[in-house]
Amino acid sequence: MTGPSPKDSLHLHYVVEGDNFTAAGEASSNVKRILKQVGLPPEIVRKVSIAMYEGEINMVIHANGGEIDVDVSPREVCMVLRDRGPGIPDVKKAMQEGYSTAPDSIRSLGFGAGMGLPNMKKYTDSLEIETALGVGTTVRMTVKVQPQGSN
Amino acid sequence: MKLTELSEILNAQCVTGEIPEEVEVFTACGSDMMSDVLTISQQKDVLLTGMVNPQVVKTADMLDVRCIVFVRDKKPDEAIIALARERGIVLLCTSERMFESCGRLYAAGLSEKGGRP
């Protein structure tokens, strides 16, 4: 992970612990630092960091942690967040701004306003959610590095 | 505005050490809900909040915030201060409330959109 070149493809893997909310966000912070190092434009770094942070927070709140894979290429940054949590019963509802199932303990820390998934959609170029009740959820997000239409 | 000036306007104390003289700030936002702060797509230099926990620093870090102002006499603990130092974020504390703090800074030229040169 040291000194990667912006021309290289880069793969990053993180295990997100699920039992400590205050410790959440370390993976996103690490990704942010690396994307800055490889010289991605600040706007792209910002989009990836916020989307991944929201996802990481969700994993800790709802799914007792999980794993995150990030692939960085000159073309795009692809994030895959996998958990073995309870699954999302109604994805359409979960995508609505303001809909939240977060407990009061999380709300009292300033999170759980029901903005996580809509925000992840807002900051990324594509968002796919695969979920099964009692099995888990996989969220795939992509942020394009190059403007659409160029190679 | 210089961060030192902002600190004077709010009679704030810096808990991360000396306020860096060179740091200038142009934009700000205020909220206790980090969920809401994360929806702000434009860069903000200052975050005013009455919420005190490590995730406030992490949220600020994701948004490239340079300085967090804790209002209503809220005081971060040592772990939060250490995290902010590590991330290069200045922490200020003021006894003023959120409305008063935002109002004073807005009147002094800080806004959501900012007036970057």
pLDDT tier at B5, thresholds 50, 70, 90: very high
Mutation target among A115, A117, A121, A143 for the B interface, most CBs of B within 10 A: A115
Q: What is the pLDDT of residues A78-89, one digit of tens each?
A: 999 999 999 999
* Alpha-carbon distance A24 to nearest alpha carbon in chain B (angstroms): 8
Query: Would you state the pLDDT for residue B76?
Result: 98
Q: Is the pLDDT of residue A20 over 90?
A: no
Partners of A119 on chain B (C-beta within 8 Å) are 35, 38-39
Q: Which two tokens mark A32?
A: 């942010």
| Band (B115; pLDDT cuts 50, 70, 90) | low
Query: Per DSSP, which regions of chain B are E strands?
Result: 13-14, 28-30, 46-49, 67-70, 90-93
Averaged confidence pLDDT in chain B: 95
Cβ <8 Å between B58 and A122: no
pLDDT higher than 70, residue A73: yes
Rg (CA), chain A: 15
Chain A residue numbers touching B53 (CB-CB < 8 A): 22, 109-110
CATH number belonging to domain A10-144: 3.30.565.10
**Residue of A61, A109, A124 to mutate, interface with B, max B Cβ within 10 Å:** A109
Least-confidence region, from A100-109, B6-15, B47-56, B91-100 = A100-109
pLDDT tens digits for range B16-56: 999 999 999 999 999 999 999 999 988 899 999 999 999 99
The mean of the pLDDT values for chain A is: 91
Q: What pLDDT score was predicted for residue A104? A: 93
pLDDT of residue A6: 54
- According to the model, what pLDDT value does residue A2 have? 44
Report the share of chain B in percent with pLDDT over 70: 97
CA nearest to A21 within chain B: B55
| Average pLDDT rounded to a whole number, residues B92-116 | 92
C-alpha distance from residue B114 to each of B49, B109, B110 (Å): 19, 8, 6
Domain B3-107 of CATH type 3.30.70.100: no
Q: Buried b / exposed e across B39-66, counting CB within 10 Å, b at 16+?
A: beeebbbbbbbbbbbbbbbbbbbbbbbb
Identify the closest residue of chain A to B32 by CA–CA distance: A110
For chain A, what are the domain ranges? Answer: 10-144
Strands (E), B8-97: 13-14, 28-30, 46-49, 67-70, 90-93
Domain boundaries, chain B: 3-107
Chain A: closest CA distance from residue B79 (Å): 11
CB contact under 8 A, A110 and B63: no
Closest CA to A47 of A138, A140, A142: A142
Residue A21 has a pLDDT of: 87
What's the confidence (pLDDT) of residue B116?
Answer: 54
For the segment A131-144, the average pLDDT, to the nearest whole number, is 97
Count of pairs with CB atoms under 8 A, one residue in A, one in B: 67
Taking each helix axis from N to C terminus, what angle separates B54-62 and B78-87, rounded to the nearest 10 degrees? 10
Contact B16, B90 (CB under 8 A): yes
Q: Kindly list the residues from chain A whose CB atom is less than 8 angstroms away from the CB atom of residue B54.
A: 22-23
pLDDT at A1: 43
